[in-house]
């Protein structure tokens, strides 16, 4: 591998890793707030991707509006699913296994709604970034990848600021850590849970636009990506915000490098082997304080 | 005891009569597929219903059984019964690969089995020399017994029915044994089960083993049923479908699992009329039945029958039409 | 009497906190041995170390001639150490009888294929298990509840089912973790009788309990823990008169007076000798 390839592969891995990070963050937030393993998180990515694409079709909107449409699309659908489905199930005291199955059902529904609306063929994404290469420290790199890394970093930075400095963010953290105490302090756990889903949907939606701009958008782009993001979240430590970010980056790098070095066909298998190894040898992931079981 | 025997015989007779009532070859083909699904659901019921293990990897064992049976039949002309048994055994053997992960819990274990399923699927897709790669396996010979071809849809249906019935009886016996009690105990309270002398890891591994054998046998049947294997028949989606079957039907019982399997296989067929909406409706049903709790559809039906029996009787006894006068 | 359980230098640390520190203790075969101490003294930790639910940080546990310090829970259970739990751990969705049948697991051997073939051996074993389970249920006085769902029973009965599940396999040592918690006076008295019956049937009992009206009449020997250390060891009469013990309990009571909590007051009342 030449040094140029190394730079290219690393950048590609970081970009795809950022996308995993964005979804993994949502999965981690949800599992922390509700103990739900959200198999439909990947569908929020798909919805975001489709919403962004549609907004582009409608008006030929500039890139930042396409991204905003994706964010809103993912956030709205995620919130809707929480309010309509998961909250109902929680109120009915349905067991964790069944809620997990329901998230699979939600995934099937969203995929098929998307297939009805947008068809089953992969859809080409418009060129949202300047094409061609830019010179960066002597290497020619794709500006698209750099944009993805920068934008994801920006979104995650905003999220951290939100958690640290806003009343709502602090309330959400409190409710996730100890719902009973939070309730006593006058925090509505139902509401913070809804926001948790909304925010994780928004991040997945953003990830959808970014992923779409790299390849294409299709109704079934979400599920496996969601599973991989779960792997990333597990890698970093389920339920940890920083863990999800770093887990996503590491997983993106592992996947991209094994695709280049080992075999394209088995790059997903390498990811799964990493997953199983992490579960076995570091069950709490790289970055968790205390062993919290899920 | 006696009434359950009568009920079982009744169901068996009814299922045996199905190809006579609906002799359309296409539908008999689908019914056989449903019976294969029933066996898969039994294997998942043992895991999730008895031991409380959510497996998202049964599709892998199903595929291993199918490819094993098909390879043996194509390359070595092994008789179909032996090929199917070998499929079950090899699937069981490969379940031993899961031994390291059985000590994981809950969703971690579920995702690890999903990872296993994804790896197995990729092997099927990419190892051309072993599995035919993305083309799959074609020209699987029709099953024959003592020189008679059993390749007709009806004959295949009865092969599937007999196998499903045998798996049912076997699992029913397992459920009411020391092994079954130990699994149930594990699912209810692992600490108390250990304190009663049960080695959790050993029992979970055995549970995976038995379930994998059943799934492998189902795969063997599928190979002879469809006579053509495509690796995408055994992707992780299949594993998820198998889990959905059991949850829809009710995780607590074998008949519930069978009902769920029938629904998962047949409803999309019945909904063909609704065209593109069928999978959408199916997804909605998954959510609704998952929301119905661990009873599933079978539990709801039983409750309904009880309710009608109880209230119907009271209604007759009270004769509200006279009381109101 | 010979020593059944011989513990020496047993310690368990949680991070920097020493829950049990360098505790030694001998339990004589055939006795009822009490383990008492104020809240947070490390009694339940001790019990978990003996049953194997917690791994020890240091020390040695010798049981019936074997060093079991590193054995996992299930192996200890099969070897003859059974327990109940402070907060009930029944198999809630199984019937009462099935719960107790699970208790026979370590004493039975039939494998899956026996069940598949319904071998005579399996049939005989099932009959024997059922019989033994009914006997155990009868022993604790709940024969009439055999087919009830365990989770549906009232609290007191659930405790008894747990005890039946633990003794059905005729263990060498029974660990009881606060069996009288939540029981009223009459029920506590019946618990004392039951503990005596268990002892009479040849099972050694290690009893962790707050209620002194249960501990004092049923124990042959008592070990007192305080802040994870062994404070005293002796007969109930000796313990009652032991100045250190009185101080530990009174001190505890005075502290609690200053900051009363609901749960500690009745306990302090029980503790006063």
pLDDT tens figures, A200-218: 999 999 999 999 988 889 9
Residue B79 is encoded by which pair of tokens? 């008789």
pLDDT at residue B174, as a whole number: 94
Q: Rounded distance, CA C178 to CA B154, Å? A: 64
Higher pLDDT, C23 or B321: C23
- Give the pLDDT score at A133: 67
Number of domains in chain B: 1
DSSP assignment of C161-222:
HHHHHHHTT--SEEEEESTTTT--HHHHHHHHHHHHHHHHTT-EEEEE-S-HHHHHHH-SEE
Q: Does residue C263 register a pLDDT over 80?
A: no
Residues C88-107, mean pLDDT to the nearest whole number: 94
Task: Find the mean pLDDT for residues A32-42.
Answer: 89
* DSSP code per residue over A213-235: HHSEE-TTSHHHHHHHHHHHHHH
Collapsed DSSP state (helix, strand, coil) of residue A244: helix
Instruction: Tell me the fold of C1-80+171-273.
Output: Rossmann fold (3.40.50)
Among A247, A267, A269, A245, residue whose Cα is nearest residue A257: A267
Partners for A (CB, 8 Å, 3+ pairs)?
Answer: B
Question: Would you kindly state where each structural domain of chain A is located, as residue ranges?
Answer: 25-221
What is the DSSP pairing of strand A216-217 with strand B144-145? unpaired
Residue A278: its chain B contacts at CB < 8 A? none
B111 in contact with A, Cβ within 8 Å: yes
For residue B271, pLDDT beyond 60: yes
| pLDDT of C261 strictly over 60 | no
Q: Say how far apart CA C260 and CA C205 lie, in whole Å.
A: 33
Reply yes or no on whether the pLDDT at C267 is more than 70: no
Question: Given an 8 Å threshold on Cβ–Cβ distance, is B177 in contact with C122?
Answer: yes
Is the pLDDT confidence value at A235 over 50? yes
Q: What is the pLDDT of residue A290?
A: 40
Count of CA atoms in the C-beta half-sphere (13 A) of A170: 6
Looking at residue B33, its pLDDT comes to 96
pLDDT over 90 (residue B312): no
A270 touches B: beta carbon within 8 Å: no
Q: Which of B185, B191, B200 sits opposite C102 (nearest CB)?
A: B185
pLDDT at residue C272, rounded to an integer: 38
Pick among C54, C55, C73 to test the B interface (most B CBs inside 10 A): C73
The Cα C5–Cα A282 span in angstroms is 36
Please report the pLDDT score of residue A105 as a whole number.
Answer: 92
Q: For chain B, list the contacting chains (3+ Cβ pairs, <8 Å).
A: A, C
Q: Is the pLDDT reported for residue A289 higher than 50?
A: no
Q: Name which residue leads in pLDDT, B33 or C250.
A: B33
The ipTM, to two decimals, is 0.87
φ/ψ of residue C32, rounded to 5: -110, 120
Distance from CA of B218 to the nearest CA of A (A): 23
Mean pLDDT over B145-158 rounds to 87
- Locate the domains of chain C by residue range: 1-80+171-273, 90-169
What mean pLDDT is predicted for residues C71-94? Answer: 94
State the nearest Cα–Cα gap between B238 and chain C, in angstroms.
28
More confident position, A147 or B57 = B57
Residues of A within 8 A of B118 (CB-CB) are: 227, 268-269, 272
Kindly state the tokens that stand for B116: 């296993």
* C-alpha distance from B242 to closest chain A C-alpha (Å): 11
Give residue C210's pLDDT: 86
Strands B144-145 and B148-149: antiparallel
Average pLDDT, chain C: 89
User: C with A: 3 or more CB pairs under 8 Å?
Assistant: no
d(CA B234, CA B211): 16
Q: Which domain holds residue B67?
A: 14-242
pLDDT reading at B47 higher than 50:
yes
Could you say which of B174, B181, B196 has the minimum Cβ distance to residue C116? B174
pLDDT of residue A268: 85
**Inter-chain contact B100–A106, Cβ cutoff 8 Å?**
no
**Position B85 in a domain:** yes
**Predicted pLDDT of residue A242:** 87
Element (H, E) at A135: strand A134-136
CA separation for the pair B217, B210 (Å, rounded): 11
Residue of higher predicted confidence among A188 and B193: B193
* pLDDT at residue B317, rounded to an integer: 65
Percent of chain B at pLDDT exceeding 70: 94
Q: In whole angstroms, what is the distance from residue A218 CA to residue A229 CA?
A: 18
Q: What is the mean pLDDT of residues C101-112?
A: 92
Within a domain: B299: no
Residue B125 lies in a domain: yes
B83, B69 contact by CB (below 8 A): yes
Residue B270 falls inside a structural domain: no
Which pLDDT tens digit goes with each residue over A154-174?
999 999 899 888 888 888 888
* pLDDT-wise least confident of A162-166, A234-238, B66-70, C127-131: A234-238
Q: CB distance C102–B198 less than 8 Å?
A: yes
Nearest by CB: B198 against C51, C74, C169: C74
Confidence class of residue B236 from pLDDT cuts 50, 70 and 90? confident
Q: Within 10 A of A130 (CB to CB), how many other CB atoms are there? A: 11
**Which residues in chain C touch residue B180, judged by CB atoms under 8 angstroms apart?**
115
Q: What is the pLDDT of residue A279?
A: 81
Residue B6: pLDDT over 80: yes
Query: What residue has token string 């396409």?
Result: A66
Pick from A205, A202, A256: which is nearest to A228 by CA?
A256
Q: Is the pLDDT of residue B107 over 80?
A: no
pLDDT tens per residue across span C54-65: 999 999 999 999
Looking at chain B, which residue has its C-alpha nearest residue C170? Answer: B196
Supply the pLDDT for residue B318.
Answer: 63
Q: Does C89 touch chain B (CB under 8 A)?
A: yes
Whether residue B324 lies inside any domain: the answer is no
For residues B241-255, one letter each, b for 16 or more C-beta atoms within 10 angstroms of the residue's C-beta and e for the rest, the string is bbbbbbbbbbbbbbb
> What is the per-residue pLDDT for B1?
56
> Does residue B319 register a pLDDT over 70?
no
Question: What letter would DSSP give residue B47?
Answer: I
pLDDT band at C250 (very low <50, low <70, confident <90, very high): low
pLDDT tens digits for C27-79? 999 999 999 998 888 999 999 999 999 999 999 999 999 999 999 999 999 99
Judged by a CB distance cut-off of 8 A, whether residue A261 touches chain B is no
Most confidently modeled range among A243-252, B121-130, B213-222:
B213-222
**Among B203, B180, B221, B303, CA closest to B38:** B221
Q: pLDDT-based confidence at B322, cuts 50/70/90?
A: low
Q: Please list every residue in chain C whose beta carbon sits closer than 8 Å to the beta carbon of residue B184.
A: 91, 93-94, 98
């Amino acid at each position: 591998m030449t040094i140029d390839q190394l730079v290219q592969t690393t950048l590609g891995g970081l970009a795809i890793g950022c996308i995993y990070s964005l979804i993994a963050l949502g999965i981690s937030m949800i599992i922390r707030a509700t103990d739900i393993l959200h198999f439909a998180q990947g569908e929020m990515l798909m919805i975001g991707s489709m919403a962004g694409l549609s907004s582009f079709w409608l008006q030929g909107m500039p890139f930042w509006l396409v991204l905003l449409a994706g964010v809103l699309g993912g956030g709205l659908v995620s919130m809707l699913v929480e309010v309509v489905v998961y909250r109902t199930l929680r109120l009915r005291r349905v067991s964790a296994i069944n809620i997990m199955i329901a998230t699979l059902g939600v995934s099937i529904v969203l995929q098929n709604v998307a297939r009805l609306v947008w068809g089953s063929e992969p859809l080409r994404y418009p060129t949202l970034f300047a094409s061609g290469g830019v010179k960066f420290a002597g290497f020619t790199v794709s500006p698209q990848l750099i944009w993805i890394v920068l934008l994801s970093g920006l979104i995650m930075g905003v999220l951290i600021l939100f958690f640290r400095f806003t009343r709502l963010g602090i309330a959400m953290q409190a409710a996730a850590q100890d719902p009973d105490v939070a309730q006593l302090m006058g925090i509505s756990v139902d509401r913070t849970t809804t926001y948790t889903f909304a925010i994780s949907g928004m991040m997945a939606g953003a990830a959808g636009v970014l992923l779409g701009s790299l390849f294409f958008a299709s109704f079934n782009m979400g599920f496996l990506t969601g599973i991989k993001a779960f792997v990333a979240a597990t890698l970093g430590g389920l339920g940890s915000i920083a863990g999800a970010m770093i887990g996503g980056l590491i997983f993106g790098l592992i996947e991209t490098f094994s695709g280049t070095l080992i075999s394209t066909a088995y790059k997903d298998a390498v990811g799964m082997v990493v997953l199983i190894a992490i579960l076995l040898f570091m069950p709490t992931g790289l970055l968790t304080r205390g062993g919290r079981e899920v | 005891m006696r009434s359950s025997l009568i009920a079982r015989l009744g169901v068996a007779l009814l299922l045996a009569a199905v190809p006579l009532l609906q002799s359309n070859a296409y539908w008999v083909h689908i019914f056989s597929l449903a019976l294969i699904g029933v066996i898969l659901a039994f294997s998942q019921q043992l895991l999730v219903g008895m031991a409380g293990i959510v497996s998202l990897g049964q599709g892998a064992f199903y595929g291993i059984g199918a490819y094993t049976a098909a390879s043996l039949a194509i390359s070595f002309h092994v008789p179909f019964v032996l090929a199917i048994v070998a499929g079950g055994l090899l699937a069981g053997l490969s379940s031993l690969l899961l031994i390291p992960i059985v000590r994981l819990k809950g969703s971690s274990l579920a995702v690890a089995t999903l990872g296993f399923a994804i790896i197995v699927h990729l092997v099927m897709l990419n190892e051309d020399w072993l599995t035919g790669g993305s083309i799959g396996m074609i020209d699987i010979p029709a099953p024959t017994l003592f020189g008679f071809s059993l390749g007709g849809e009806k004959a295949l249906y009865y092969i599937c029915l007999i196998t499903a019935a045998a798996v049912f009886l076997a699992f029913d016996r397992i459920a009411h044994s020391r092994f079954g009690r130990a699994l149930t105990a594990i699912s209810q309270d692992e600490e108390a089960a250990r304190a009663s002398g049960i080695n959790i890891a050993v029992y979970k591994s055995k549970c995976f083993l038995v379930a994998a054998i059943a799934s492998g046998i189902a795969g063997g049947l599928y190979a002879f049923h469809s006579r053509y294997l495509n690796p995408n028949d055994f992707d992780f989606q299949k594993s998820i479908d198998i889990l959905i079957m059991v949850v829809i039907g009710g995780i607590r019982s074998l008949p519930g699992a069978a009902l769920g399997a029938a629904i998962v296989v047949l409803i999309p067929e019945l909904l063909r009329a609704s065209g593109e909406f069928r999978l959408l409706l199916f997804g909605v049903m998954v959510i609704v039945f998952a929301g119905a709790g661990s009873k599933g559809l079978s539990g709801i039906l039983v409750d309904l029958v009880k309710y009608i029996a109880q209230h119907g009787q009271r209604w007759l006894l009270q004769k509200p039409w006279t009381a109101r006068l | 009497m010979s020593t059944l359980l011989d513990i020496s230098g047993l310690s368990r640390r949680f991070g920097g906190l020493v829950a049990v520190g360098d505790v030694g203790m001998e339990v004589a075969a055939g006795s009822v041995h009490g383990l008492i101490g104020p809240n947070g003294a490390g009694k339940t930790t001790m019990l978990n170390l003996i049953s194997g639910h917690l791994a020890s940080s240091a020390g040695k546990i010798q049981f019936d001639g074997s060093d079991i310090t590193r054995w996992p829970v299930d192996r200890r259970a099969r070897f003859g150490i059974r327990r109940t739990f402070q907060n009930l751990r029944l198999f809630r969705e199984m019937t009462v009888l099935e719960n107790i049948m699970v208790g026979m697991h370590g004493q039975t051997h039939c494998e899956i294929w026996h069940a598949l073939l319904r071998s005579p051996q399996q049939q005989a074993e099932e009959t024997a298990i059922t019989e033994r389970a009914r006997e155990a249920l009868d022993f604790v006085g709940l024969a009439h509840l055999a087919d009830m769902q365990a989770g549906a029973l009232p609290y007191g009965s659930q405790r008894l089912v747990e005890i039946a599940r633990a003794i059905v396999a005729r263990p060498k040592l029974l660990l009881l973790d606060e069996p009288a918690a939540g029981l009223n006076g009459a029920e506590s008295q019946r618990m004392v009788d039951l503990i005596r019956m268990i002892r009479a049937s040849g099972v050694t009992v290690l009893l962790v309990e707050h209620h002194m009206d249960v501990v004092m009449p049923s124990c042959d020997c008592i070990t007192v823990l305080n802040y994870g250390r062994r404070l005293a060891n002796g007969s109930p009469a000796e313990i009652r008169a032991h100045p250190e013990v009185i101080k530990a309990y009174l001190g505890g009571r005075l502290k609690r007076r200053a900051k009363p909590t609901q749960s500690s007051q009745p306990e302090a009342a029980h503790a006063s000798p």
